[in-house]
Structure 1
Amino acid sequence: MSERRSYPPGVPCWVDLSTPDTQGAAGFYGALFGWRAGFEAEPEAHGYGLFHLRGKKVAGIGPVFHEDLPAGWHSYVAVADLAETLQKASAAGGHVALPQTQITHAGRMAGLRDRENAFLPLWQAEQHHGCELVNEPGAFTWSELTTRDPAAAQDFYAAVFGWAPGGDAYYTRWLVDDKAVGGMLPMPIDVPAEVPPHWVVYFAVDDVEQAVAKVKELGGGQMSPFIDSPAGRLAVVNDPWHAEFAVISGVQEHH
């Protein structure tokens, strides 16, 4: 189902971009995915904006929290109780990276870091429930953790969200009620040690080669070769401000 109005707890529900150049990035993603950006005029929005596709909310965009922080895409996991989830994360060996914050009337957010320091934001919905369009070209379709300790991650996310591991010895599919909501794979051995474990946001496209060519034309870059996975052909890319994301030709029915 492409259109969504709500998400169960434990399911990735929203994605947003932190960037040092919100106007420039809005132009980049508008040209790449056909998104239209709108920015809130209210001071409490702090420069945050929304991307729309066919009139539906598909992602957010805002300035980086501090000029020293890198640009990046983040996927938010829906939770019923932020305080309880953060307590579970701390008890499981993670820690609170961002304390609970009220976001106007939209909802409440917080951020955790898992045992290996991968950052993952959380969302407790009020008026804003998340992406209104998923699993189709130009929309969010998958979240994937790359980590050096998959066993520790399995234990951590099971304790925090109740995720059950599926898949095979190499690739883990996170399951909620037997439905895949995300994935995990080991960090490749050739990745420099200073690159921390992290989550990658995937967007569906009709044609991966065309999408990557467009990324390059718009000033971005290709970070991985083209990969033929069981889920579809994919590539990891970055925008001109070095925010990493992936494009995939297969639509992941995980929501």
Structure 2
Amino acid sequence: MMQELGQPGAEPCRVDLLTGDMKRSVDFYGRLFGWKTSGGNSGTEDSIDMYLGDELVAGFLNNDSGSECSDAWVTYLNVADAHAASYSAGMYGGCVFLQPLEIQGQGTLAMIGDPTGIGVGLWQSSTVRGLTKASGRHGTRIWNELHTTKFEKVTHFYRDALEWDLLSLSDTDEFRYQSYGQGPNAKAGIFDISGQPDPKPGWRTYFAVTDTDKALALAKNLGAKVLKQAQDSPFGRMAVLADPTGAEFSIIQTVPA
């Protein structure tokens, strides 16, 4: 569950938090993961980059009170051509929520949806600025995973529209999962949650921690809600949380190599 960014291959490249309370989110993630704002920002701005030391880890975006979107973590895929990828999404049964938009001096942004309507961002970078690596360091993004109740339809979409080379890790009624790449070169996963209790489709972001139980206890003290208690897995000890404004995320203490 770790990858390095290489040539654009529609792999997860960064995450943004859509939040209705910027100051509260800055405080929560700062105390949980040690993140700090850039340039002394106070948390009153509409857009803030968050850093761990000198490493960019995420962006925070203000979720306007008039927005129909819930607070959430948004995954972006690194593409060579946002226009072509958006067109391909439409060709293979998806939709385009936001047409490609050039961000001066940085790159081109778009937002697409798969055939079930689950959105994901596209980012065509003109520089390395704005990209994050899944390094495994405490407090950094380590894995991105799509949860879906329409597994066949969604896996076909990512294969066809974005040219994902998906490999089956398990194909049973109890656990159906495909990975984009494998082993240390794995980039993302697609998980069939149709048989899970209270399935909630969407992209999930995992953050690395040095100790899942300690991080979970701290998050609870900071106002987070525990959605799934800590449990061991083949990839490490993990838990699922909702931050104080409701955005869901996962933490994982990885297994030593």
TM-score range, shorter chain: 0.7 to 0.9
Matching residue of 1:74:
74
Percent identical: 30
Partner of 2:51: 52
Find the partner of 2:209 among 205, 208, 230: 205
**Residue 141 of structure 1 contacts residue 203 of structure 1 at CA under 8 Å; is this kept in 2?**
yes
Assess if the C-alpha contact under 8 Å between 2:209 and 2:252 holds in 1.
Answer: yes
Native 8 Å contact 2:3 2:184 kept in 1: no
Kept after mapping to 1: 8 A contact 2:13/2:133: no
Deviation at 1:40, TM superposition (A): 9.4
Q: CA deviation at 1:209?
A: 0.9
Inter-CA distance 132–165: structure 2 relative to 1 (3 Å threshold): closer
In 2 relative to 1, CA 133–118 (structure 1 residues): closer, same or farther, beyond 3 Å?
closer
Check conservation: 1:112, 1:120, Cα contact below 8 A: yes
Shift of 1:97: 1.1
Q: What residue is the counterpart of 1:117 in the other structure?
A: 117
Decide whether the 8 Å contact of 2:178 with 2:191 is kept in 1: yes
Indicate the residue corresponding to 1:246 in structure 2: 250
Is residue 206–residue 250 contact of structure 2 (8 Å, CA) maintained in 1? Answer: yes
- Equivalent residues in 2 for 1:112-151, closer than 5 Å: 112-127=112-127, 128-131=129-132, 134-151=135-152
Q: Work out whether residues 82 and 124 of structure 1, in 8 Å CA contact, stay in contact via their aligned partners in 2.
A: yes
Per-residue deviation, 1:3: 11
Out of 164, 180, 201, which is 2:186 matched to?
A: 180
Residue by residue over 1:103-127, the C-alpha shift from the partner in whole angstroms, topping out at 9 and shown as x without a partner, is 2322111111101111100100013
1:11 maps to what in 2? 11
- Shift of residue 99, structure 1, vs aligned partner: 1.5
Whole-Å separation in 1 of the counterparts to 2:118 and 2:39: 29
Mapped partners of 1:64, 1:13: distance in 2: 21
Q: What residue number does 1:216 align with?
A: 220
2:198 alignment partner in structure 1:
191
> Residues 247 and 149 (structure 1 numbering): CA distance in 2 closer, same or farther, change over 3 Å?
same
Q: Distance in 2 between matches of 1:252 and 1:8?
A: 28
Structure 1 distance, partners of 2:6, 2:130, is 5
Residues 79, 123 of structure 1: 8 Å contact kept: yes
Query: Is contact 1:231-1:252 (8 Å) kept?
Result: no
For 2:148 and 2:5, the matched residues in 1 are separated by 31
The answer to whether the 8 Å contact 1:58/1:134 transfers is no
Unpaired segments ≥5 residues, structure 2: none
C-alpha distance in structure 2 between counterparts of 1:29 and 1:162, whole Å:
34
Residue 177 of structure 1: CA displacement? 11
Q: Is the 8 A contact 2:115 2:153 kept in 1?
A: yes
| One-letter amino acid matched to 2:243 | D
Q: Indicate the larger mover: 129-138 or 228-237.
A: 129-138
SS at match of 1:23: helix
- RMSD between superposed Cα atoms in Å: 2.6
Partner residue, 2:170? 168
Residues 166-214 of structure 1 show CA distances to partners (whole Å, capped at 9, x for unaligned) of: 212122111289931111211244316xx4x200001000111111111
Q: Is this contact kept in 2: 1:135–1:252, CA < 8 A?
A: no
Q: Residue type of the partner of 1:155?
A: H
In 1, are the aligned partners of 2:134 and 2:142 still within 8 Å (CA)?
no
C-alpha displacement of 1:39: 6.7
Task: Give unpaired runs (5+ residues) of structure 1.
Answer: none
Match of 1:80, SS state, is coil
Q: Give the Å deviation of 1:67.
A: 3.2
Number of residue equivalences: 245
* 1:158 and 2:165 matched: no
Question: How far apart, in 1, do the equivalents of 2:91 and 2:82 lie?
Answer: 14
